[in-house]
Amino acid sequence: MYRKLSIACLQYSSTENEKYTLETIKDLINKAIDAKAELITLPECATSLQKNSLLTKELAKTEDENISLLFLKEIAKSKSIFILIGSLPIKLKKKLVNRSFLIGPEGDILYRYDKIHLYDVSLPNGDVYKESDTYNAGNKAVIAKINRNKIKIGMTICYDVRFPNLYQDLAQNGAEIIVVPSAFSNVTGPIHWHTLLKARAIETGAFIIAPAQTGHHECGRTSYGHSLIISPWGEVLRDANKKVGIICAKINLEEVIKARRAIPSLISKKNYLTNF
């Protein structure tokens, strides 16, 4: 069985106007296609970042009305590729969810994942983020399946990376690739980003694919960049650094089998007693 997959991560800075961001994305997708990518991945907040929760809520649309989703579905269909949309703000009646989509080569939505762990933090530099002011948390872990070569992909978003049990559960249930689309803080990024993602790869014996936002945004935020493709052994195969652009790698899923045989931690977990 053919067990290889060419993957691209797009790295850029989402603007407040999704139409402007989509122009950047379109150019980067064309570059990824020229590089023979079969699965193209976009970061969290894939097409827009707003100044505050009120604006995000005001501008959010349902799936049927979301121009970014419709635009990217059409590209996936016209180019016959898989596209992972890191996340879009999706309106569900009076609620919003931070939702990731895997779009198939016929332009259909194959899988949806709503971000489970919301980014509610107070950083050392005084920055405060409360994602729960904008979104409702998801409650369902998702493994997407690409039937063409029977590859299983665990879907997560950004802050989820700090919760290793989710990643281990995905791996124990068959995920060989785990995607981590992100808009990671430039405060925590220099210390935490590479370490967390490498740890998740090593713990699960899975490929980690992490497309990320980079640079200064119109809304005032700054994102860390450094989109990464990491092997099941914890090796950084590609690092986009801070630049707008793409990274690509052709991964071999046999490496997942080899890593899990060498370090069988997923099947060696023990139950234990506590005295607390």
| Catalytically active residues, by annotation | 44, 115, 158
> 76-87 burial string, b = 16+ CB within 10 Å, else e?
bbebebbbbbbb
Alpha-carbon span 240 to 234, nearest angstrom: 17
Find the Cα–Cα–Cα–Cα dihedral 40, 45, 48, 54, rounded to 10°. Answer: 160
Residue position matching structure tokens 């290889």 = 4
Residue position matching structure tokens 């994102």 = 223
Any idea what the Cα angle at residue 42 is, between residues 39 and 46, rounded to 5°?
A: 150
Please answer whether residues 178 and 206 qualify as being in contact, where contact means their C-beta atoms are separated by less than 8 angstroms: yes
Alpha-carbon span 213 to 12, nearest angstrom: 5
Q: How far apart are the first and last CA of the chain?
A: 49
Alpha-carbon span 37 to 55, nearest angstrom: 35
Any idea what the Cα angle at residue 241 is, between residues 84 and 98, rounded to 5°?
A: 35
Going by DSSP bridges, is the β-strand pair 222-224/214-216 parallel, antiparallel, or unpaired?
antiparallel
